[in-house]
Structure formats: C-alpha cells, structure tokens
Amino acid sequence: MKTLAAVATSKGEPLEMRELTLDETRSDEVRVKLVATGVCHTDAIARDQIYPIPLPIVLGHEGAGVVEAVGDGVTSVEVGDHVVLTFPSCGVCSSCVSAHPAYCVDFGALAMGGARPDGSTGFEAEDGSDVSSHFFGQSSFATVTNAYERSVVKISKDVPLEIMGPLGCGVQTGAGAVLNVLKPEAGSSIAIFGTGAVGMSALLAAVIANCTTIIAVDIVDSRLKRAKELGATHTINSKDEDAVERVREITGGGANYAADTTGNAGVFTQMTKALGIMGHGALVGAAAPGTESPFDIGNLLLTGLKISMVIEGDSVPQTFIPKLISLYEAGLFPFDKLVKKYEFSEINTAFADSESGDTLKPVVVF
Ligand SMILES: NC(=O)c1ccc[n+]([C@@H]2O[C@H](COP(=O)([O-])OP(=O)(O)OC[C@H]3O[C@@H](n4cnc5c(N)ncnc54)[C@H](O)[C@@H]3O)[C@@H](O)[C@H]2O)c1
Ligand SMILES: [Zn+2]
Ligand SMILES: [Zn+2]
C-alpha cells in the first residue's frame, strides 16, 4: 500500500516528502495509521548522521495513531485501538525479562539499524529501491507504518490522541529519569540541566515527586521562563552565571538529585560538581559516540555520589505510558503545555523551531 513519508535523504538536509510503498505487515507487527507524531532531538541527530543511520530513511519515533491491521502473532492490540508508538526491544534478553527493555541487548540494532532483523526494510521508493525503516521500531514520519508489536502501547480512547505521541520517547525519557531512576523523596532538591522537552518532562515529574527545590539550568531565557511557569523554583542561565556555584548556593552545598538533558560534555561535568554529598545524577542527553567528559575522581570519591546513564527513562512503556496518561488526566502532569502542533508539510519548520528554542515539543499532525 502507499504511504506518504518525510524521508531523510542526505546528512543535515531537510526531510523530503515522498510517496513510498509500505510492505506487508509481518506476524510480529502492527500496521498503524498515524494521527500525529512528535519530533524529538534524536530525530535531528539521526538526520545529521551523528548516529550513523543508513540513509535514505523514514525517521520519527513518537507516533500516535489507530491500529489498521495486525500480524497473526499479535495479541496485545486489535484493529481500531488507539496506540502510542515507543522504542523497540527484543523481549527475551536478560534486560527485557527483568523489566528494563530500554537496555535491551539489541536496542541499537532494533532502534537504529534501519531494517528488520532479517535485513528487509518496510518501505520502497518509486524506483524500487529500499528506504530504511523501523527507526525506533516504528518510523512514524509516514501516514501509515508497520511497527513492531513491542513498540506499540494501547492507550485509552478518552484522551486526545493527537498529542500523545511524545509520551513514546521524549516525555517518558524525562519523566522516567526522575520517577523510575532518581526517585527523589518529597522535600528534596533537584537540578535539571537543559529545559527542552526532555528536561521539562523531568521538571514536571519532579513536581509530582514533591521536590521542593527545583532548579532549571539552560542558556535560553525564554525556556527558563517556561520552566518557572511549569514549576521550577529557581532558574539559572549558565551563560550569565556559574551554574555549579549557583546550584550549590541555592541548595546549601549541592543538589540531592540532578539530570543532564543537554548531551553537552561540559554540562555533564557541571552536573557532577553541582551534586551534594550522596547525590544522584542522571545522564539523559545524547552525545556523539566517543564523547568523553572529565569526572574529578579525586574529589568526588569522597562524596559517595552516584551517576546513572538513563535510556528512555528506564521505563516499561506498556505500564509507564498509561500511568503518565492517568497523571495527565488527573491534572498532575500537564505535558500538553510543551506541545506545539504543525501540519505534516511543515515538518522541517518543526525541526527548525525545536532547534532554535522556539518550540519545546513539536507535534506534526497528519
Ligand atoms: N536518553 C534517552 O533515552 C533520550 C531520549 C530522548 C532524547 N534524548 C536526548 O536528550 C536530549 C534532550 O532532548 P530534547 O528533545 O529535550 O532536546 P532540546 O534540544 O529541546 O533540549 C536541549 C536543551 O538543552 C539546552 N542546552 C544546550 N546546551 C546547553 C548548555 N551548554 N548549558 C545548558 N543548557 C544547554 C538547550 O538550550 C535546550 O533547551 C537530546 O540530546 C536528545 O537526543 C535522550
Ligand atoms: Zn531485549
Ligand atoms: Zn526521542
């Protein structure tokens, strides 16, 4: 069948709209008619080949849509279900069976290999050549796609499907880093470096966790202003002020918890220095493979601090996404305030507005 897709064709270039052919839905796949898809910074990293992903490819990994067909092995969803698309995992490795699918041993190949494990791709161009597919198990920048069943999460029909896609990556990543990994206790302090969609989702989660000192650090004033509106108790523009000094001052010696959502090596170092005794920090931002960041093993040994590397909020999407939706319905997790909608034809503008800091979470509506 035909699908209209936004295709990444060459490094750093805008996506191109192309009509492609979508192949048969395999036994472990679900055919989804997309209603909308979020745009995540990781899509930009892939387009720009910071992660070497086989081009041309249909990117997109925050899809939301309606199930149109299911493979004969699929049991968790049926035609007509509303679904959010999320990251893939194998389901059988030790990480998957111990409820940590984000650390699936096959995560890299399944999310970024550009093809199914058997080497086939889901899309074909007009000239018959293959177009890479299954980005994060879904390739959601298309009007119809085949997603792995494990990348599909059934959600309630009572919530606006159009804005649910970002729960599949950016939002669950930030919220999960706080609620599933850092688990701050009520009354504790947290410093969040980077206030994009991931950092803001971490911030909303810190509010849910009753952190009483929530410090947002960024270099864009308009984002810091939004952070304040969403619950930050303090903001720091680290272009104007020494973020480490300020966090230590505000918290009286260092934050109990911190998250770095920038992917910047220097910011990671700042985060380690901004933590207090027995603090716990999470690295969430994605840097190019090979990026190293200095860590003061002489001084920091004495602090007992802990650093976690966190993928996708270490969540089990099939349970965590419905929980985030319950919190949203209860008015406790207003992630909709991060969203700005775009037409599918405006997808490159959506990327540009996210990069410039104008939009926190672009959602492209089909
Ligand atoms: N670990 C994961 O599983 C996972 C999942 C999704 C996204 N990511 C990554 O998380 C990061 C954040 O994603 P996003 O969608 O929120 O991106 P974003 O670009 O919207 O947000 C990044 C923020 O960091 C700020 N920033 C950049 N350099 C800074 C500096 N030197 N000091 C302070 N702030 C700085 C930017 O101004 C921006 O507000 C990206 O690297 C993305 O690839 C990781
Ligand atoms: Zn696995
Ligand atoms: Zn993402």
The model's pLDDT over 213-247, given as tens digits with 9 standing for 90+, comes to 999 999 999 999 999 999 999 999 999 999 999 99
What is the reported pLDDT for 119?
Answer: 96
The alpha carbon of 280 and the centre of ligand 2 are apart by a number of angstroms equal to: 26
3-state secondary structure of 13: coil
The alpha carbon of 299 and the centre of ligand 3 are apart by a number of angstroms equal to: 34
CA dihedral 25, 27, 31, 37 (to 10 degrees): -110
**pLDDT reading at 31 higher than 90:** yes
3-state secondary structure of 19: strand
The alpha carbon of 262 and the centre of ligand 1 are apart by a number of angstroms equal to: 4
The model's pLDDT over 318-336, given as tens digits with 9 standing for 90+, comes to 999 999 999 999 999 999 9
Q: Residue 178 and residue 258: Cα distance in Å, rounded? A: 9
The closest ligand to the CA of 103 turns out to be: 2
Alpha helix (H) residue ranges in 209-242: 221-229
In the structure, what pLDDT confidence band is assigned to residue 51 with cuts at 50, 70 and 90?
confident
For a mutational test of ligand 1's pocket, the pick from 49, 242, 262, i.e. the residue with the most ligand atoms closer than 8 A to its C-beta, is 262
The closest ligand to the CA of 174 turns out to be: 1
**pLDDT reading at 339 higher than 90:** yes
Output the CA–CA distances (angstroms, integers) from residue 171 to 12, 206, 210, 264, 284, in the order listed: 25, 13, 18, 20, 12
Q: The whole model's pTM is what?
A: 0.97
The model's pLDDT over 65-100, given as tens digits with 9 standing for 90+, comes to 999 999 999 999 999 999 999 999 999 999 999 999
Q: Does an H or E element contain 324, and which?
A: helix 317-329
Q: Nearest 5 degrees, angle CA 237-CA 238-CA 243?
A: 110
Q: Which among 151, 183, 171 has a CA at the least distance from the CA of 280?
A: 183
Q: Residue 294 and residue 186: Cα distance in Å, rounded? A: 31
Q: Residue 6 and residue 17: Cα distance in Å, rounded? A: 5
| DSSP assignments along 330-352, one per residue | TTS--GGGGEEEEEGGGHHHHHH
The model's pLDDT over 103-131, given as tens digits with 9 standing for 90+, comes to 999 999 999 999 999 999 999 999 999 99
Q: Nearest 5 degrees, angle CA 103-CA 108-CA 114?
A: 145
What is the reported pLDDT for 193?
Answer: 98
**pLDDT reading at 52 higher than 90:** no
Mean pLDDT of 27-33: 98
CB atoms within 10 A of CB 185: 11
Q: Please give the mean pLDDT across all residues of the chain.
A: 97
Write the CB contacts of 47 (distance below 8 Å, at least 6 apart in sequence). 8, 11, 12, 13, 15, 59, 351
Output the CA–CA distances (angstroms, integers) from residue 366 to 34, 185, 337, in the order listed: 7, 41, 20
What is the reported pLDDT for 188?
Answer: 98
